[in-house]
Structures are given as C-alpha cells and as structure tokens.
Amino acid sequence: MGEDEPVVDTQQQAVRISVLDTSPIVAGSTARQALHNTVDLAVLADGLGYHRYWSAEHHGMAGVASSAPAVVAGRLADATRRLRVGSGGVLLAHHPPIVVAEQFGTLAAFHPGRIDLGLGRALGGSRRAADAVREEREPTATSFADRIAELLGYFDQDRPVRATPAAGNVPAFWLLGSSTASARLAGSLGLAYAFARHLNPDEAGQALRAYRTAFRPVRLSTPTTLVSVAVIAAGTDERAEWLAGPTRRKTSLRLRGDRILLPPPEEAAARPEADRAAAAAHTRGLVVGSPQTVRERLQAVLDETGTGELMITTPVHGHADRRTSFELVATVAKQLVGR
C-alpha cells in the first residue's frame, strides 16, 4: 500500500485529517506575523496527529501571505517531525515544469517521504498579478495536462534535460480541483485528487464519483482522495457563529467586488442583522459549531464523498481561536467513520 493510499482495517476506514493554510493576513496583522503563525500552527498540528499540511499559492492578495509554497514547505518540514508538508497547490501555469521539479525534488531530498506536490491551474490572484508572475516569453498555450506530463517526466527522467535533484527524490503527486472536469483529468492520469469543497460545496460528491469512474492505475494502484472543508469549531455553537462572522462578511463583500482584510468578530457582529443573514447565505459550505455540531457535519461530508481524508482550513481572525478550532477538530476526528 502506498504512502497516500487510505489505511483500511477489517471494520472501517481510518479518517485522516490535514491542514490547508493560506497564511492569512488579518486586519491589524502583517505578512511576517501570518507566516510565523503558519509555522506555529504546523507545529501544533504535528503534535495533534494531523497527517499533512499544505500551503496554497496566491499572488497579489493583500490578505494572503502564501505566495511561495516550496519555500514554506521547507520551513515547515524543518519545524515538524512527522507531518507531511507541501503545496495545495503549485499553480503550474505560472512556472516552468523543470523549476517545479527541481524545487520539490530538492525538498524530497532533504525530507524523504514527507513532501507532497499538489498541482492546480487557477490564476491564484488577479489577471494582472498572474501576468506579473509569468514571464512574457513563458508559453501559456500549453495545456494543463501537457504541463503535468512534462513535470512528471522530469521525475521519471524521461526528458532530454535533467532536473537533477528530482532523480530518486520523488514527492507524492496530487491534482487539485473544484469541478468534475478536474476530477476526470486526475482520474485519467492516475493521480491522487484533492477536491476544494471549501470553494464549491455543491459539487463535491459528484466530482469524486467522476474521479473514481475515470481512474486508471497509471501512477497509483487505487483512487486516492481528500476533500478540503472550511471549519470553525469552538466550545459552543454560539461562540463558533460569532467567530465565523468575519469570514461571512468578507465573503459577502468580495462577491460585491469589495476587498477587505478579515475583520475582528466584534466589527462583524456590529453589522445589521439583515447584512449578517445575507452573508451567511453566501457561506453555506462553512462548517461552524461546537464539537458535536462539527462532528455531525463532517461525517455528512464523509458520507457524501466517500473520501478517507478531510483537509481543514479555518478562516478566523484570532490565531488563538484558530489553534483552539484545530484542537477541537483533532478530538472530533477520532469519532468520524470513513467508508
């Protein structure tokens, strides 16, 4: 059984929990503090038994400090003992595949058996930011599938030019997506698939079924999945809802074209009741509540998708509240049952 294939006993499948972190820069904070918070949270997650910790690539966003997942992965691997670390994901359209192979081959050489390379095709920011990241001469017409094939070829040494650190230093490959199209691509390539339910909660079950139907045992012997879920856990439902106010407000404003840093809960709670109700409608995929409520809703996600791993992202303003939420989810996870 491969490192990232689900662990199964004769009774039930063990449910893995992992972390997706954008290194959020909240109101009143800085990018430096956000990145130090990421290291602190990774150390906590390592001790709590989380399986992997991914940093997502974004560019030109005032509220996001995770622009360089390969750099962050190296720092987190140094700071932790057993946690798998990596990208969720590297946006392959922005980078020559050989550079990505060299970066993650180097990481795998330093930390064998602990590096994940998740690949995505989103812009990761505005069109202007994407144009600034890509060099003018960088080809953009090459299909995502072709760029994946080129990247994997460097690890297989099936290229006329060698990505030397990649030889014998191979991370676990994942394809990221939030649609049935990405699911089918991952399945056809025989790659592990990570579905971004926190971005598209309505299509999760359908996408994972499409992945399993399309799966071919090219690089993995069996379909391997995880599902990312936005979760805010607290001691009571009321406390959790209060902590969720800022992300509900930020999401609502973003849909209207207004960009703000995640505000403190007191500011979000001061909004009129009608505004807060509208914000809640735009964030229906967010799992919010006490441990019991969170357990029930996460179990529903497992039942819907059939996955054996949940990757948790927690958009709250206070770092201490984020730590508490991950501690509660770690306790809840012991009560979850996978297929």
Per-residue pLDDT tens over the stretch 129-165: 777 777 654 555 589 999 999 999 999 987 889 999 9
When mean pLDDT is compared across 68-82, 94-108, 132-146, 180-194, the lowest value belongs to 132-146
Task: Give 281 or 244, the one with higher predicted confidence.
Answer: 244
Residue 4 pLDDT grade (very low, low, confident, very high; cuts 50, 70, 90): very low
Per-residue pLDDT tens over the stretch 192-220: 999 999 999 999 999 999 999 999 999 99
Copy the structure tokens of residue 299.
Answer: 């179990």
Q: How is residue 102 annotated by DSSP?
A: H
Mean predicted lDDT score pLDDT of the chain: 91
Beta bridge partners of 86: 54, 116
* Residue among 18, 34, 19, 175 nearest 91 (CA): 175
For residue 1, pLDDT over 60 is answered with no
Backbone angles phi, psi at 16, to 5 degrees: -90, 150
For residue 11, pLDDT over 70 is answered with no
For residue 88, pLDDT over 70 is answered with yes
Residue 17: predicted pLDDT: 98
Residue 221: predicted pLDDT: 97
Helix (H, G, I), strand (E, B) or coil at 164: helix
CA 192, CA 336: separation in Å to the nearest integer? 22
Identity at 20, one-letter amino acid code? L
Residue 2: predicted pLDDT: 40
Please return the burial class of 42, using the count of CB atoms within 10 Å of its CB with bins 0-12, 13-18 and 19+. buried
* 181 contacts 206 by C-beta, under 8 angstroms: no
The residue-averaged pLDDT of 163-190 equals 97
Per-residue pLDDT tens over the stretch 221-258: 999 999 999 999 999 999 999 999 999 999 888 878 88
For residue 111, pLDDT over 70 is answered with yes
CA 335, CA 1: separation in Å to the nearest integer? 24
Residue 251: predicted pLDDT: 87
Beta bridge partners of 117: 87, 173
* Residue among 286, 226, 259 nearest 89 (CA): 226
When mean pLDDT is compared across 4-18, 122-136, 242-256, 308-322, the lowest value belongs to 4-18
Q: Dihedral (C-alpha) 120, 43, 243, 294: value to the nearest 10 degrees?
A: 80
* Prediction pTM value: 0.92
- The alpha-helical segments, DSSP class H, found in the chain are 31-48, 69-79, 97-110, 127-133, 144-156, 180-189, 204-214, 237-255, 265-269, 273-281, 291-305, 319-333
For residue 8, pLDDT over 90 is answered with no
124: left (phi over 0), alpha (psi -120 to 50) or beta: left
For residue 125, pLDDT over 70 is answered with no
Residue 282 pLDDT grade (very low, low, confident, very high; cuts 50, 70, 90): low
Residue 42 pLDDT grade (very low, low, confident, very high; cuts 50, 70, 90): very high
